[in-house]
């Protein structure tokens, strides 16, 4: 899958590989022994956040799970 920032796709795939392994083998099994993907995540985020700003994608200002607060469940 491609990143929204064309230059970030390789970094994204590297991070995804690391995350998928950690998620299945550690996180879901309750292993809290730390995240081996911090560095690859940082590099990926630096790239993608820059691309988002350049493309003017309106991601700011929405709180996490924000829009659903008004809707009753």
Which residues are near another protein by CB under 8 A? 1-5, 8, 12, 15-16, 19-20, 23-24, 27-30, 32, 35, 41, 44-45, 48-49, 52, 57-59, 62, 64-68, 71, 73
Do 43 and 11 touch, CB atoms closer than 8 A?
yes
Which of 5, 54 has the CB closer to another protein?
A: 5
Where does residue 68 rank: exposed (0-12), middle (13-18), buried (19+ CB within 10 A)? exposed
CB of 10 to another protein, least distance (A): 13
The rounded distance, in Å, linking the Cα atoms of 40 and 21 is 13
CB of 4 to another protein, least distance (A): 4
């Amino acid at each position: 899958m491609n990143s929204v920032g064309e230059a970030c796709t390789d970094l994204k795939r590297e991070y995804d590989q690391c995350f998928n392994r950690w998620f299945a083998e550690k996180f879901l099994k309750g292993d809290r022994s730390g995240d081996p993907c911090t560095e690859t995540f940082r590099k990926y985020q630096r790239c993608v956040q820059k691309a988002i700003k350049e493309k003017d994608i309106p991601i700011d200002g929405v709180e996490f799970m924000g829009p659903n607060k008004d809707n009753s469940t």
